[in-house]
Amino acid sequence: MRQYLRRILCVIGCAAGIAAFVFGAATNTMAQGRIETGILSGVQKVNLAVPQFASRDAQSSPLQLVFHQVVMDDLNYSGIVDVVSTSFYPLDDPSMPSELKPQEWAAAPCNALDIAFGNLTTTGASLSVAGYLYDVRQTPAASILEKIYTGNATEDGARQLAHEFADDIISRLSGGVPGIAQTKIAYVSNRTGHKEIWEMDYDGANQHELTHLGTTSLTPRWSPDDSRIAFTCFETYRRVVSAQICMYSTLTNRLMYFPHYPGTNSSPSFSPDGTKIAFMASYQGDPEVYLADVNGGHMHRLTYSLGVSTSPTWNPKTGQQIIFVSDRAGLPDLYEMSADGSNVQKIPLSAATGVAAADLPATGYVIDPAWSPNGQLLAFSWRRPAGNYDIYILDLASHQLAELTRDSGQNERPSWAPDGRHIAFESTRSGSLQIWTMLADGSEARELTVSGRNESPNWSPK
């Protein structure tokens, strides 16, 4: 089993050229069919020191505090570095390469392998940050990153520059895979009295409402270039209020035209090249999966079965396969088909290994499929006989299974971050329905929302 778990780690990490995750598996929890996730390291994490940046003037002093805290938070949650405790740092913080004494940072008790440091300067309304990343194991220390970042001399400006610096560090240390500090999460919130589409930074900052329809909006999905968000709305069509596909432009901050159809239309999903959109429609009878151009033209049907077929998700690497949910065999389960609707086959979860047979929910519901960015893993929600939904990951090649959540409320609607190392999801574990994120091994769960009921997160592609 550990061999398999290491393999999944390689699927998550090695294919992307990043440090891999390892799923730990305790014997007692395995007997219960549970994979206890704890982040170990297939490749050793980098010990990284991040001393305070120097403020070059009085105006930059409060912004330095914001900048440093955001950089620390971004790096700590990256999953690929261990940020050394500041209590182990030498007395003198370097603000530029000529001040760096690498032996002091490489020696005990700091034991850093790399150090990120620099300084901030304000000029009128502009903030400039000189950021450096050095390898202190070498003599002399080797430069990994040297860059000047510029932005507004505001708290938001300092946050943005900190995200940019953190993303550059992660990219340098993970073989070129960009960090996610500048990504967004779209979600549904009812905090204004109706379910509207909202957006926030990946860390929960800057939460704000996008739509103001005053009805019910659901299932937001980013386009691959993050220029638009498709979602399910409720609007009047032929004097009947029904679920329709709506489109929101993140460039103009307003709704875009998308044709409406009779019946129920919901759960949109963009193709990886952004030219097509798959969704559920019922205007010909049973709810089935349809495909249309991104503007709604050339709509045609992909699935033909009794019951409901919905929630399509594309293979993001090939664009040639779609996984969807169907109850054609009785209960909701996962099916895969070619993008033209051919070669439909059920994904055999009952044969999956990684969960004890006694714990396989033979009568459970399987919903919310989400394909990982590398196209090799599938996250989804599975309701066990006890009645709770939890989030699982399936290796599509081997049909090995890993359970990421258990015994902490209802956990549903997983959505992958573009780095393949993080997953957003909705959970009731804090007492109400909120948006959470976790590392893709199930560890380090973080609650991002606390006001109102928040659900259906979807991570922006970049």
* Cβ–Cβ under 8 Å, residues 403 and 411: no
Q: Which of 11 and 429 is assigned the larger pLDDT? A: 429
Which two structure tokens, joined as six digits, stand for 167? Answer: 């993303």
pLDDT (mean) for 356-384: 82
pLDDT of residue 177: 84
Query: What is the tens place of the pLDDT at every residue in 134-185?
Result: 999 988 999 999 999 999 999 999 999 999 999 999 999 988 888 999 999 9
**Predicted TM-score (pTM) of this structure:** 0.89
Q: Tell me the longest C-alpha to C-alpha distance in the chain.
A: 75
Question: What would the 3-class secondary structure string for 334-380 be?
Answer: EEEEECCCCCCEECCHHHCECCCHHHCCCCCCEEEEEECCCCCEEEE
Closest among 381, 405, 396, 359 to 457, alpha carbons compared: 381
Which two structure tokens, joined as six digits, stand for 362? Answer: 């033979």
* Cβ–Cβ under 8 Å, residues 51 and 38: no
Least confident of 244-248, 345-349, 384-388: 384-388
Q: Which of 432 and 44 is assigned the larger pLDDT? A: 432
How does DSSP assign 138-164, residue by residue? SSSPEEEEEEEEEEESSHHHHHHHHHH
Query: Residue 72: helix, strand or coil by DSSP?
Result: helix
pLDDT of residue 72: 97
Which residues are CB-neighbours of 104 under 8 A, at least 6 positions away? 90, 92, 110
- Between the alpha carbon of residue 325 and those of residues 278, 288, 316, 333, 459, the distances in Å are 13, 10, 17, 5, 20
pLDDT of residue 383: 87
On the question of pLDDT at 390 being above 90, the answer is yes
Query: What is the tens place of the pLDDT at every residue in 113-123?
Result: 999 999 999 99
d(CA 252, CA 58): 37
The 333-338 sheet, strands edge to edge:
309-314, 321-326, 333-338, 345-346
Closest among 235, 247, 308 to 277, alpha carbons compared: 247
pLDDT of residue 178: 84
Closest among 91, 148, 146 to 121, alpha carbons compared: 148
Q: What H or E segment, with its residue span, contains residue 27?
A: helix 27-31
Residue 221 binned pLDDT confidence (cut-offs 50, 70, 90):
very high
Closest among 192, 194, 223, 198 to 211, alpha carbons compared: 198
- Cα dihedral 339/343/346/349 (nearest 10): -80
- Cis before 369? omega within 30: no
Average pLDDT score over the chain: 88
